[in-house]
Structure 1
């Protein structure tokens, strides 16, 4: 099964202004790396998966469509959120998830970007 191409296009467009973006097929989808760190993934179920600050996970899980991602039936570690399509329908909601991922990406890179 292929990743959600429309979602991948939205992510690609949202990251267009970022330095050092590359796309890698993983997690059964298309993952976007920013500054060599995983940032966002378009998966096969039309869901957006973002890497986020582990300290913010509980708060982020309260947003519409947000849930813990699972891999091979096991919950992934803190620092990852998967968002169902209805949680990213609006541009405002989608952009807030991308900004959440980029914010953590900058933090993980020591704030050098």
Structure 2
């Protein structure tokens, strides 16, 4: 069974941690891509086109996960990620719309 990396519970997601995670343009790019992903399917962490080393990419996804923006599932040699859309919309209404409306890189 895949190991589930740690994420906060919906009521434990803190605005400061979310904003701190979104301060980095690479992480905002990932979240923006997930906001625009209408079918909300799980995506591979390598599918975002980030031209970064594996360790740096892993760090960015860890920050997003620990802030409560994404759920990440390790599946052997790859990790899948989904946006916590429902949790974030309930906790911070309008935040994802703002990120989605931001001009891309």
> TM-score, normalization: structure 2?
0.29
Q: Name which structure has the greater RCO, CA cutoff 8 Å, separation 6+.
A: 2
Compare the two structures and name the one with the higher strand fraction.
Answer: 1
